[in-house]
């Protein structure tokens, strides 16, 4: 509207400056009237021009204000979130009870929204973990920068591989095994992600310090059609590779999923099954089974079952039972755990 008004105002002002008659010729296509193609004249006086000039000035002022307001919408936001979980467990292969804090995390998400709608962001995550094998229970877990425009996100820094999104596990403390090696966050990862309504694709590379052959390339993708979800991943480094595929189905309160994975360096493969049932808004039960099929030797099986009760949107209690065959865990192959999780 403002643009059209400025154009018409300019026409009126031009006529006044020329102090002549504005001669407009209208050609009405597909018209059969007798005025077709004939010119008509509009006479203007100085009072009309002053009125138009005022409207022109107002239009320009409104346009400038609108542009200034659009520029002012760019803003920086800081979102702080976190979670903490206390666990009491008797683990597989052990006779003793253990008590520990499992991954008490604090996340800082800083986002700067640009005038064009794109976002520049930074993610910092600190973790306290009693079970950390490095001997340093408090450490910087994630620290990376990124840029998002439309459905594409590029990030670089300390983060996980693209393959980290693969998995169907519903466990709390024990879980099952597969051949997609879980990795901690690495310092020099570049990741590109594309996220649409029903499709996600990610690619990452872990840049080596010296030998280029040691670079780790990882791919992940998933798609959802109706109630079905299919996912896959592939990771390769130094001539070795691992891949996995999974499929899941959701029906009302039930979900079921299955996965297969294989690693060339060990020539082992694994199959997994998992399912959940939302018994109520607060209570969810889940179970899973996993079998590792080694290149040689007997199959190794693990299984689990758990129940989670939500006290609120941020707090939940859970219990879990787990077991394994003798090929997976020789002694004390029954386990149990209970925990409380709080998020903010």
pLDDT, one tens digit per residue, over 280-315 is 999 999 999 999 999 888 899 999 999 999 999 999
Beta carbons of 272 and 191 less than 8 angstroms apart: no
Beta carbons of 318 and 293 less than 8 angstroms apart: no
Structure tokens at 248: 């899941």
Most confident of 40-54, 133-147, 291-305: 291-305
Which helix or strand (DSSP H or E) is residue 33 part of? none
Beta carbons of 219 and 225 less than 8 angstroms apart: no
For the chain, helix, strand, coil in percent to 5 are: 15, 55, 30
Residue 26 pLDDT > 50 = no
User: In the prediction, which pLDDT does 336 show?
Assistant: 95
Tell me how far apart the terminal alpha carbons of the chain are, to the nearest angstrom.
Answer: 47
User: In the prediction, which pLDDT does 136 show?
Assistant: 56
Distances (CA, A) of 45 to 23, 54, 56, 161, 308: 15, 15, 17, 73, 81
- Cα-flanking dihedrals φ and ψ of residue 62, to 5°? -65, -40
Alpha carbons 236 and 240: distance in angstroms, whole number: 6
Alpha carbons 68 and 70: distance in angstroms, whole number: 5
Summarize pLDDT for 323-336 with one digit per residue, the tens. 999 887 777 789 99
Describe the crossing of helices 2-18 and 46-72 by its angle, rounded to 10 degrees.
150
Burial class (CB in 10 A: 0-12, 13-18, 19+), 322: buried
Entry field: residues in the chain:
344
Superfamily of chain region 76-343: Porin (2.40.160.10)
User: In the prediction, which pLDDT does 263 show?
Assistant: 93
Q: Domain spans of the chain?
A: 2-70, 76-343
Total-model pTM: 0.73
Residue corresponding to tokens 């077709």: 36
**Lowest-confidence range among 24-38, 146-160, 187-201?**
24-38
Summarize pLDDT for 68-109 with one digit per residue, the tens. 444 435 588 999 999 999 999 998 888 889 998 887 899 999
The model's confidence at residue 180, banded by pLDDT at 50, 70 and 90, is: confident
User: In the prediction, which pLDDT does 104 show?
Assistant: 87
- The contacts of residue 153 (CB under 8 Å, 6+ apart) are 146, 147, 192, 193, 194, 195
Alpha carbons 158 and 160: distance in angstroms, whole number: 7
User: Which has the closest alpha carbon to 80: 132, 126, 141?
Assistant: 126
Residue 134 pLDDT > 60 = no
Burial class (CB in 10 A: 0-12, 13-18, 19+), 205: middle
Summarize pLDDT for 266-289 with one digit per residue, the tens. 899 999 999 999 999 999 999 999
Q: How many CA atoms lie within 13 A of 194 on its CB side?
A: 8
- Cα-flanking dihedrals φ and ψ of residue 52, to 5°? -65, -40
Residue 220 pLDDT > 50 = yes
């Amino acid at each position: 509207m403002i643009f059209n008004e400025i154009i018409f105002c300019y026409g009126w002002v031009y006529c006044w400056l020329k102090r002549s008659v504005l001669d407009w010729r209208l050609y009405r296509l597909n018209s059969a009237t007798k005025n077709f193609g004939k010119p008509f004249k509009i006479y203007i006086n100085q009072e009309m021009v002053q009125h138009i000039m005022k409207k022109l000035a107002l239009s320009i002022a409104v346009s400038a204000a609108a542009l200034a307001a659009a520029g002012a919408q760019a803003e920086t936001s800081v979102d702080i979130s976190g979670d903490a979980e206390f666990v009491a467990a008797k683990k597989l292969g052990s006779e003793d009870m253990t008590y520990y804090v499992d991954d008490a995390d604090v996340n800082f998400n800083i986002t700067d929204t640009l005038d064009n709608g794109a976002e520049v962001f930074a993610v910092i995550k600190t973790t306290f973990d009693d079970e950390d094998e490095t001997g340093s229970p408090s450490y910087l877990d994630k620290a990376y920068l990124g840029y998002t425009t439309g459905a594409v996100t590029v990030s670089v820094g300390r983060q996980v591989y693209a393959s980290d999104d693969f998995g169907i596990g519903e466990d709390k403390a024990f879980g099952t095994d597969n051949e997609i090696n879980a990795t901690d966050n690495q310092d020099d990862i570049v990741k590109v992600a594309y996220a649409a309504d029903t499709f996600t694709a990610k690619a990452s590379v872990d840049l080596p310090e010296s030998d280029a052959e040691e670079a780790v390339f990882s791919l992940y993708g998933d798609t959802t059609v109706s109630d079905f979800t299919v996912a896959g991943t592939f990771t390769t480094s130094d001539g070795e590779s691992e891949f996995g595929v999974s499929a899941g189905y959701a029906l009302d309160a039930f979900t079921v999923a299955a996965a297969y994975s294989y690693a060339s360096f060990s020539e082992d493969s694994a199959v997994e099954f998992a399912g959940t049932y939302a018994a109520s808004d607060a209570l969810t039960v889940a179970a899973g089974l996993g079998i590792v099929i080694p290149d040689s030797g007997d199959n190794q099986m693990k299984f689990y079952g758990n129940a989670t009760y939500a006290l609120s949107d941020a707090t939940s209690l859970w219990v879990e039972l787990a077991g394994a065959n003798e090929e997976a865990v020789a002694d004390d192959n029954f386990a149990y755990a209970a925990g409380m999780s709080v998020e903010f």
